[in-house]
Amino acid sequence: MNGNTKSVSALRKKTQTMDFGDLYPGWEAVVWVNPPLKYIEMLQSGVAANVYSSINDLVTDWNFRDEKDNELKKDVKNIREHLPIDLIYALIDKITSAITSPKAKRPAD
């Protein structure tokens, strides 16, 4: 390193919007696709608390709603208590696919 840090850009958080319309019409989540490895390890650990925590960290926003059509706040408690299991599995699959896809690995434009 030559000490010139002005030409180095900050690490940008890359996100991708994922559609869950095949399961729940209109539902979308914004997912962090270039996270540190620890989040992927937690997601794939098989330990429920780690999986829920990782989903909470990797999903930066969503428009999910509860049974009474109220906006569902994004937090670990709501993931555990309100999200249907098929949606949790879909989140895990889509997050894993997005993170391991060549597009996610490509440098930002």
Q: For residue 90, which amino acid is it? A: A
CA 21 to chain centre: 17
Q: Which of the pair, 11 or 68, is modelled with greater confidence?
A: 68
| Nearest residue to 79 via CA among 91, 96, 94 | 91
Question: The tokens of 98 are what?
Answer: 């997005």
In this predicted model, what pLDDT tens digit does every residue of 26-62 receive, in sequence order?
999 999 999 999 999 999 999 999 999 999 999 999 9
What is the reported pLDDT for 63? 95
pTM of the model: 0.79
- pLDDT confidence bin for 6, thresholds 50/70/90: low
State residue 66's pLDDT score: 86
